[in-house]
Structures are given as structure tokens and as C-alpha cells.
Amino acid sequence: MNGVNTMSYRRVLMRRLLTWLGITLGMLIPALSHAFEDNMHLGVASCASNVCHGKLSKQTSENVWLTEYGEWSSVNDRHSRSYKTLLSDESKLIARKLGLKNAQSANLCLDCHADNVAQELRDTKFQVTDGVGCEACHGGAKLWIDSHTEPGATHAENLKLGMYPTEDPAQRATLCLGCHMGTKSKFTTHEIMGAGHPRLRFELETFTALQPAHYDVDADYIERKRSTIGFGLWMTGQIEAADTYLGLLQSNLLEAPGMFPEFSFYDCHSCHHPMDNKRWTMAKKNQGLKPGTLRLQDQHFLMLRAITEVLDAPRSAEFRRLSAALLKAGQTSNQAIKKASAELSGWLRARQAEWGSRQTSKAEIKAIRKAIVTLSANGTISDFASAEQAFMGIESLSLYLGDADEVGAALDRLFALVESDQAYTPKAFRSAAQQALNAL
């Protein structure tokens, strides 16, 4: 596959000042206000003036920086480039292969590469060419644009008027995954991939850090909102990613036209790799799979397996059984996939409620990291997408445990192996993981 499938850059270690905080998450998930869906979108220009979010230097007298527009429009925040991407030669080629007139006017592309709300929700300054603008994440601003700057305005009031709760880990995950994995109404099918679209991958904590921050999670932030960094963000991201995937598996998207189910639900590299780069491992056999068969994507389930082993050991056999049943169903029939997905999803929802309301200790988080490295070292985590997810998890947790520098050499070795899917080999990843296990 082409070069855009490589991770474009690694997170700069310690770019942000990371503080250790024992975090509980998900306890106060605000009900999504009805207004979010039907609020008018005013356009980036309405947020970007130099008396609002378009200041040139960070303001210290305010809670927020007011330089958000500058951060978003910098080349490093790809959301401000996402519409322009649709004008590129690469997009032109994708559009031609799909038989579209062009990419920049196709809803198929705009739905994720812009804030493509219905015409009647676009105010006078709104421009779809802004790409993934402020309101694609923060919600249409019509009802709160005036009130949110008034002295004494609270975040709770803003939410009531339709601002999106981006600070809530689960809600944030749903938002990002909507474009970074897809929904029932916007999705990168294998036909779109086959035309040349890059493979999608997502990990909430890493991608939150990779998007140039336009805010600080500092003391006043935590007081106004809540702490949103750390283990809780990573774990919630895994639960939501797994559940989003399970939801998509239960939808009509699985029924691709033709004799096969939709390919993009399967592990891309179970079909796409050179024949001398062998991927079959005994760990797969132990899961009840046969060599030479298709596998559904299981990268998020493998992370959840590590979490379950530590936070809920008595249930880990049950989780392994349910996720193995899903992989087997993936080789049986669409009906079997839907049934197994629904069961696994129900199981996860129950764990989310339990895990979300418990305090996780530093020792437990260390043990979860070790479990990911162990699953990598014993060959259970071996497909590229799982190795990539494992790397992101190990790095995220190391940053929060505060020993990323000490284990830096091990992280570097793992990263070098998952940087490109073309150069990836399960064998090298496994041996780097064995070395990492000794370093931990």
C-alpha cells in the first residue's frame, strides 16, 4: 500500500507537560443536548476575529488561549487542511476511480473532510471550504455564540445550548471516531480504499496529543471541566473504538454488494502483504483460527484483553471467549458476525460502567502496560494494526507513568517497526517486544 499508510509523525515525547493524576472517568457523562444536531453553523470566520479566538499571542488573563484559530489553521492541524486535501492529485485520482465528478463536491468525501452540515444549517459566513472547522467538533454555535463570552457564563450552560462536550472522554471518542473510523452514514468502504484512500487507524489518547493542542489541561481547566488526560482517555478510547466497530458490524454496511462481506472490516494485512512475509502464528491457532483464513480486525479487542486481565481477571476468560467467537463468526456468516458483535458489545457496555467508576492505581496501569508488552512478546499481538495499536498504548501509558524516558530505547525500537506497514514483520515486532519486556 502507498506511503500515506505510514504514521506521518511520532508524537514528540514530553511535548506537553504531563502531570500524573489519578483519574476516574465517565462518571458524569452529560446527556447530549438535543440542540447539538440542529444548531446553525456560523463558520470559522465567526470564531476567528482578533477579539475572539484569533489573537496572535496566548492570553493569560483569560481561561482559554484565544489563539485557537491560529493553532487550528497551522499546517500541523490537518483538520484545517482537510478540504484542500480533496483538491489534491491524490484525491482527484480517487474520485476518478470511484466515478465521482470530483472529490470536493461529493458528500462521500465532504462528510469527513469538512463540516458538511445540511444547507439549512449554514449561516451566512459558513464556508464548507474551511474543512473540519471549529463547529465540526464544538457544535453549531448559533445559540451560544453570544452567551458563551458573557461574564459568568458556565460550561454547563454552553452545553445546554448545544456546545459539544469535547472534554468528556467517551463523547470525544464518539466524535473523533465518527470520522476516524466512520458511522453508518459515512464510511470508507473497501471500494474507497481500493481507489486509494489511506487506511484509517485511531487511538484517542495518541490522536488527541497529535492534534496540536489549542488548550491546556491545567488547574483552572480541571476546575471548569474535568481532567481529561491519562489512562482514562486511553481506556475509554479503546472501549469506544471497539464498540463503534461492533456497531458498524451490526449495520447494513457489512452487506457489501456481491458474494463477500465488506472487506474493510477485516484486517487489511490479512490480504495485503507479500507472500514471503509470513503472518501466521501459533497464537492464532490457539484462538481457534485456521491458517490461510480471513480475520476481522481485533486490535482494540487485544488492548481490552490486556485491560481485562488486570482490572477484572476473573472475567478475562469470558472476554477471550467472546472475542474469539467474533473472529470465528467473521469466517462463518454475516448473521453470525452480527450476533457475536451484539454479545461482545453488551459485555463491553457493562464493563464500561464498572471500570468508569473505579479508581485505577498506578500499579494497575503499569500491569496493563506489561500485559500489552507480554501479549506482543508471546506473539498474540502480531498483525500490523494490532502492533501499531500496541505501540500507541505502550507509549501513552509510559508517558503517563512518567518513565517514557527510561523505556525510551525500547519505545524507539518498537516504533521503528510499526512506522511503515510495508516494512513490518511479525517476527521483528515479537523480538523487540521481548526486549521491551526485559526493560520494563
Interface positions, 142-181, toward ligand HEC (CB under 6 A): 166-167, 172, 175-176, 178-180
State yes or no: residue 90 binds ligand HEC (CB under 6 A).
yes
Nearer to ligand HEC, 287 or 434 (CB): 287
Nearer to ligand HEC, 66 or 311 (CB): 66
- Pick from 122, 142, 199, 369 the residue near ligand HEC by CB under 6 A: 199
CA pair distance 230, 21, nearest whole angstrom: 7
CA pair distance 95, 91, nearest whole angstrom: 6
Binding region for ligand HEC (CB under 6 A) out of 15-23, 86-94, 307-315, 423-431: 86-94
State yes or no: residue 351 binds ligand HEC (CB under 6 A).
no
- Applying the rule CB under 6 A, the residues between 202 and 241 that interact with ligand HEC are 207-208, 210-211, 214-215, 221, 225
- Pick from 126, 144, 187, 301 the residue near ligand HEC by CB under 6 A: 187
Nearer to ligand HEC, 44 or 311 (CB): 44
- Applying the rule CB under 6 A, the residues between 23 and 82 that interact with ligand HEC are 44, 47, 53, 63-64, 68-69, 72, 78-79, 81-82
Please, are residues 93 and 196 in contact by the beta-carbon 8 Å criterion?
Answer: yes
Give the count of alpha carbons within 13 A of 411, CB side only.
19
* Partners of residue 296 on adjacent β-strands: 266
Torsion on CA atoms 384, 390, 395, 401, rounded to nearest 10 = -170
Amino acid at site 281? T
CB of 374 to ligand HEC, least distance (A): 27
Nearer to ligand HEC, 78 or 339 (CB): 78
CB of 3 to ligand HEC, least distance (A): 9
Judged by DSSP in three states, 47 sits in coil
Alpha-carbon torsion 139, 141, 143, 149, what sign? positive
CB of 316 to ligand HEC, least distance (A): 28
Amino acid at site 117? V
Amino acid at site 414? L
- Applying the rule CB under 6 A, the residues between 92 and 111 that interact with ligand HEC are 94-95, 98, 103, 106, 108-109, 111
CA pair distance 430, 227, nearest whole angstrom: 35
Nearer to ligand HEC, 264 or 374 (CB): 264
Q: What is the DSSP string of 368-390?
A: HHHHHHHHHHTTSS-SHHHHHHH
CB of 439 to ligand HEC, least distance (A): 27
Nearer to ligand HEC, 121 or 439 (CB): 121
C-alpha cell at position 1: 500500500
* Partners of residue 41 on adjacent β-strands: 122
The position carrying cell 512506522 is: 419
- Pick from 128, 253, 268, 436 the residue near ligand HEC by CB under 6 A: 268
CB of 437 to ligand HEC, least distance (A): 28
Is 259 buried (19+), middle (13-18) or exposed (0-12) by CB count in 10 A?
Answer: exposed
State yes or no: residue 127 binds ligand HEC (CB under 6 A).
no
Please, are residues 292 and 278 in contact by the beta-carbon 8 Å criterion?
Answer: no
- Pick from 18, 32, 263, 343 the residue near ligand HEC by CB under 6 A: 263
CA pair distance 380, 287, nearest whole angstrom: 9
CA pair distance 437, 352, nearest whole angstrom: 28
CA pair distance 323, 321, nearest whole angstrom: 6
Binding region for ligand HEC (CB under 6 A) out of 182-190, 239-247, 280-288, 314-322: 182-190
Nearer to ligand HEC, 213 or 336 (CB): 213
CB of 21 to ligand HEC, least distance (A): 15
- Pick from 18, 294, 428, 437 the residue near ligand HEC by CB under 6 A: 294
- Applying the rule CB under 6 A, the residues between 398 and 417 that interact with ligand HEC are none
Nearer to ligand HEC, 53 or 305 (CB): 53
Quick one: how far is CA 351 from the chain centroid? 19
Q: How many CB atoms lie within 10 A of CB 58?
A: 14
Nearer to ligand HEC, 92 or 315 (CB): 92
CB of 350 to ligand HEC, least distance (A): 26
